[in-house]
Amino acid sequence: MPIYTDQMKRSIHIPAYPQRIVSLVPSQTELLVDLGLEDRIVGVTKFCVHPQGLKKQKTIIGGTKNFHFDKINALQPDLIIGNKEENYQEGIEFLEKKYPVWMSDIYTLEDALEMMRGIGKITGTTVQADILINEIFQGMAALAPQNKGTAVYLIWKDPVMAAGTQTFIHDMLGRAGFTNLVQEPRYPELSLEDLKTLSPDFLLLSSEPFPFKQKHIDEFAAHLPQTHVQLVDGEMFSWYGSRLRYFVDYVVNRVV
């Protein structure tokens, strides 16, 4: 019986190329489709918005941190794909008692490319995965060195939360040419006084998971007159699947 090792160093027994896949992570759902596996996907989360219309064709099994186990059981998947950060431990532990569950654990671009390679291997799409990986790698390699200045990247409001070190966003900020001023790990809370003290060149407000809008730009700009406050596409900085193909063009043409 084939045994695969996921990014959490867990051994997963998958006897044959899976035909009934449940994806618990939006960016990995999009990746599966781009690897040519759309027909094999049977379940997705309510946040799996790409490609457009996919959710209407598949069973929605809940959110990334709230699985509907009855719906998953009804699907009888032969592979479930999740992520350590985006999913919740109790739910994953419950599912892995019954089904093969392959988990990603991603902090850097290299981790993301390794994830793609791993999913390609377990699904029999190594050729497609290698083509995608090469496209992303070449695009990143061609990105001219950027030095946009210092930045703080916010993911939440009330409380204000920022992307710190040991996150995929931190790695992508660096590749985009920003110096992340938040040096605490993961997603620390920040006060308005903290932001004033940090005084970043850029305050980047992500479109997800909190849906920052123009009113929030105006609010922060009033308190940080020397900082350029900008709304950015959260998918470009936090989705670690095939959407990475668009990162370089976005950084060069859309991010000031």
| Final residue belonging to a domain, choices 109, 139, 169 | 139
pLDDT digits (tens, 9 = 90+) for 66-121: 999 999 999 999 999 999 999 999 999 999 999 999 999 999 999 999 999 999 99
Give the domain CATH number at 220. Answer: 3.40.50.1980
128 shares its domain with 197? no
186 SS3 class: coil
What is the total residue count of the chain? 256
Geometric angle at alpha carbon 125, from 121 and 131, rounded to 5°: 105
pLDDT > 80? residue 1: no
**Domain-located, residue 154:** yes
* Reported confidence tier of residue 231, pLDDT bands at 50, 70, 90: very high
206 phi, psi to nearest 5 deg: -75, 145
Cα 57 to chain centroid, rounded: 22
**Domain-located, residue 49:** yes
45 shares its domain with 133? yes
| Final residue belonging to a domain, choices 139, 157, 184 | 139
134 shares its domain with 15? yes
Instruction: Report how many domains make up the chain.
Output: 2
Q: What gap in Å lies between CA 147 and CA 22, rounded to an integer? A: 40
51 shares its domain with 172? no
Burial of 158 (0-12, 13-18, 19+ CB in 10 A): exposed
114 shares its domain with 176? no
Amino acid at 207: S
**Domain-located, residue 144:** no
pLDDT > 80? residue 256: no
244 shares its domain with 133? no
235 shares its domain with 213? yes
163 shares its domain with 113? no
Q: Are 203 and 224 in contact (CB under 8 A)?
A: yes
**DSSP annotation of 246:** G
pLDDT at 145: 82
Q: What gap in Å lies between CA 81 and CA 182, rounded to an integer? A: 31
221 shares its domain with 120? no
33 shares its domain with 135? yes
Contacts of 235 (CB under 8 A, 6+ apart): 27, 50, 207, 208, 243
**Domain-located, residue 134:** yes
**Domain-located, residue 70:** yes
pLDDT digits (tens, 9 = 90+) for 147-171: 999 999 999 999 999 999 999 999 9
| Final residue belonging to a domain, choices 119, 139, 159 | 139
107 shares its domain with 197? no
Amino acid at 240: Y
pTM value? 0.95
Domain of 105 in residue numbering reads as: 3-139
193 shares its domain with 240? yes
